[in-house]
Amino acid sequence: MKGTRKLLLILLATVIAAIFLLPLVWMISTSFKNDFEALAGQMNFIPKKPTIENYMEGLSGELMNVPIVRWITNSLSVGVIGTAIVLLIDSMAAFALARLSDLPFKRTLFAMFVASLMIPGVLTFLPMYMEFNALGLINTYSALILPYTAGAFGVFLLYQFFISFPKEIEEAARIDGANKWQIYSRILLPASVSIMVTLGIFTFMGIYNDFVWPLYATTSPEMRTITAGIALMAQGSYTQAYGKLMAMTTIATLPVLIVFILGQRSFVRAITQAGVK
């Protein structure tokens, strides 16, 4: 009886998993079909005439005259640089809030950062656009990076970790004559690698996958991120060129899927931390 129930549950889980994975499998399958077959309305997962044409054209930049390699380079650079900045400034701020008792306006800063977590993004979107517009920074890499540096999530995640760090190690280092920078960079950071990786994955995926801001903050084809670029293609004259679109989405999804699968544990932990908060 117990065995049958278990088997039924596994069966149910498998059916649901198939539904979840089907669109992704179909995406990859379609990316190896020519446009004719992709539009034929068939349900074959193995292409009848498999072709890598869609990929070859896409990566060579010939595909529909769209600079997809440039878009991916943009997304990867913006994601990596943005993540590096967030890790540096968030960890420094969290260190000051958690470990430096003589930080001026500590309570005020802390309260402001907490309150900011409850502010909906819609409140800052338009003024942020106008701000970058006034600074002449629309359609630059700055516009694609800087807005992500203001989020307080990372400061909190690291604050919670730093506050529980044993005080004895820090005091011992201080007696040995270590200054604050040395305590931060040589003691705290090396002990925080895993939480930093967590925040890094979370931040990278957030920037790489962001959609609305890059769509409006970039105006020329060569400045688009891959998410904004694909959205514009899907709306433009490439609607229903499914084979080619799917090759592009597959390429676009690979980096973030690799990061996701490799760092899934960390990612789950970051979500847990956010939930507990």
Partner 1 sequence: MRTSWMSRLTSALFALPYTLCFAMFLLFPIGYGLYISLHDFELLSEEHPFVGLDNYIAIFSGGTYENSVFLRGLWATAQFVLFSVPLLIAVGLGLALLVNVLPGRIRGLFRTFYFMPYAISASVMAVIWLMMFDTNAGFINSMLMKLGIDTIPWLTDTPWAWVSLIATTLWWTIGFNMIIFINALNEVPEDYYEAASIDGATVWSKFAYITLPSIRPVMLFVMITSTIASFNVYAQPYLLTRGGPGDSTKVLLMNVLDQAFIRKEIGSASAMAIIMALLIMIISVVQYRLTYGRKESGV
Minimum CB distance to partner 1 smaller for 23 or for 190: 23
The answer to the question of residue 116 lying near partner 1 (CB under 8 A) is: yes
Asked whether position 193 contacts partner 1 by CB under 8 A, the answer is no
CA 131 from chain center: how many Å? 24
Q: Which ranges in 165-237 belong to alpha helices (H)? A: 167-175, 180-182, 193-209, 212-217, 226-235
Q: By CB under 8 A, name the one of 155, 197, 217, 223 that touches partner 1.
A: 155
Query: Is 9 a binder of partner 1 (CB under 8 A)?
Result: yes
CB of 60 to partner 1, least distance (A): 21
Q: Indicate whether 212 belongs to the interface with partner 1 (CB under 8 A).
A: yes
Kindly state whether residue 102 participates in binding partner 1, applying the rule CB under 8 A: yes
Candidate ranges 62-70, 168-176, 190-198, 227-235; the one touching partner 1 (CB under 8 A): 227-235
Give the residue with the Cβ less far from partner 1, 66 or 226.
226
The residue from 111, 163, 172, 268 that contacts partner 1 (CB under 8 A) is 268
Buried b (16+ CB within 10 A) or exposed e, 100-115: eeeeeeeeeebeebee
Per rule CB under 8 A, is residue 144 in the interface with partner 1?
A: no
Q: Based on the shown chain and the rule CB under 8 A, indicate whether residue 21 belongs to the binding site for partner 1.
A: yes
Binding to partner 1 by residue 72, rule CB under 8 A? no
- What is the spatial distance between Cα 205 and Cα 264, in angstroms, rounded to a whole number? 12
**Binding status of residue 138 toward partner 1 by CB under 8 A:** no
CB of 234 to partner 1, least distance (A): 5
What number of H helices and E strands is found in the chain? 15, 0
DSSP 3-state assignment of 45? coil
Q: What is the DSSP letter of 63?
A: G
Find the shortest distance in angstroms from Cβ 168 to partner 1.
21
d(CA 185, CA 190): 7
**Counting contacts by CB under 8 A, is residue 7 touching partner 1?**
no
CA torsion angle for 138, 139, 141, 143 (degrees, to 10)? 30
Shortest gap between Cβ of 52 and partner 1 (angstroms)? 19
Q: Report which of 191, 216, 189, 204 is spatially closest to residue 257, judged by C-alpha positions.
A: 204
Query: Considering the complex, what minimum distance in angstroms separates the CB of residue 134 from partner 1?
Result: 9
| Rounded Cα gap, residues 189 and 200, in angstroms | 14
Stretch that binds partner 1, among 58-66, 168-176, 185-193, 236-244 (CB under 8 A): 236-244
Calpha distance 25→125 (Å, rounded): 35
60 binds partner 1 (CB under 8 A): no
Of 56, 111, 136, 211, the one binding partner 1 (CB under 8 A) is 211
- CA-based nearest residue to 209, from 231, 177, 239, 238: 231
3-state secondary structure of 136: coil
Q: Which stretch binds partner 1 (CB under 8 A): 61-69, 169-177, 191-199, 221-229?
A: 221-229
Q: How far is CA 139 from each of CA 33, 43, 86, rounded to the nearest angstrom?
A: 35, 41, 21
